[in-house]
Amino acid sequence: MKIFCPDRLPAVVKGMVDQSAEKRSGSNDDDRYEAFVRLLVEHEPRVRSFLRGLLPTWYEVEEVTQEASLVAWRKFDDFEEGTSFGGWLLTIARFEALKYRRRVARSRLVFVDEVWDLLAEEASGEEVQQIRRQHLEICLEKLGAPKRDLLLHVHAHGVVMRKVAEESGKSEQAFYKVIQRLRAVVLDCVLKEIATEGA
């Protein structure tokens, strides 16, 4: 029996329906579903940011983000309304990242335990200033279209920066410096935006 309208679920949580279906019934299902999706959409960027500082590639960030989303969906019945969903999701993400880390711990890109723990602890704090998308968009506009497009392009899904560097006709080192300079300019601008906002 189709109890929980699984075709209405996001693909990311679709696989969890079977396990969850027996626990759920009635119109509350839709409310729970809507609530979960709303919270996930709101807090997922923070999770990705958090994981980006722990995991060395975007592939891993995406995988662990997805895994954390699935776990959160499985455990959503345990989440207490009124408490911080963001903090709860971040805790799950941290745990999932740790599990992932164990599989790739020997990579030079993976931090040793002590550094990992420090970064995870400090990045998950409630007081951490968050860069938001609107901050960035303002600063990207200030960059001008060519630089903006270049910066976005090298950060886009699947783009290999080394190949873009090759095709630019510049040395890799020179190209990386340009990108790093653009990042620094944008970051400076973003921090000013945040400060202005808070003033």
Tokens describing residue 134: 């609107």
Q: Least distance from C-beta 91 to other proteins, angstroms?
A: 17
The residue among 91 and 136 lying less far from other proteins, judged by its C-beta, is: 136
Nearest partner of 43 among 78, 92, 98, judged by Cα: 92
The reply on whether position 74 binds other proteins by CB under 8 A is no
The stretch near other proteins (CB under 8 A) out of 72-80, 83-91, 94-102, 111-119 is 111-119
Closest by Cα among 177, 176, 190 to 143: 190
Q: Residue 21 and residue 77: Cα distance in Å, rounded?
A: 12
Contact 94, 124 (CB under 8 A): yes
Identify which of residues 49 and 91 has a Cβ nearer to other proteins in the complex: 49
What is the distance between the alpha carbons of residues 124 and 49, in angstroms, rounded to a whole number? Answer: 10
In the region spanning residues 122 to 161, those forming contacts with other proteins, defined by CB under 8 A, are: 122-123, 128-133, 135-137, 140, 144-147, 149-153, 155-161
Instruction: Please give the structure tokens belonging to residue 13.
Output: 């949580």
Q: Should residue 29 be labelled a site residue for other proteins when binding is judged by CB under 8 A?
A: no
169 binds other proteins (CB under 8 A): yes
**Ramachandran angles phi, psi of 63, nearest 5°:** -60, -50
The only residue of 141, 163, 195, 196 in contact with other proteins, by rule CB under 8 A: 163
- Choose one: 13-21, 24-32, 82-90, 94-102; the region binding other proteins (CB under 8 A): 13-21
Is residue 25 within the footprint of other proteins (CB under 8 A)? Answer: no
Q: Is 69 in the site for other proteins (CB under 8 A)?
A: yes
Cα gap 189→33, rounded to integer Å:
38
Nearer to other proteins, 102 or 108 (CB): 108
Query: Each residue of 104-115: b (16+ CB within 10 Å) or e?
Result: eeeeeebbeeee
When binding is defined by CB under 8 A, the residue of 25, 99, 115, 192 that contacts other proteins is: 115
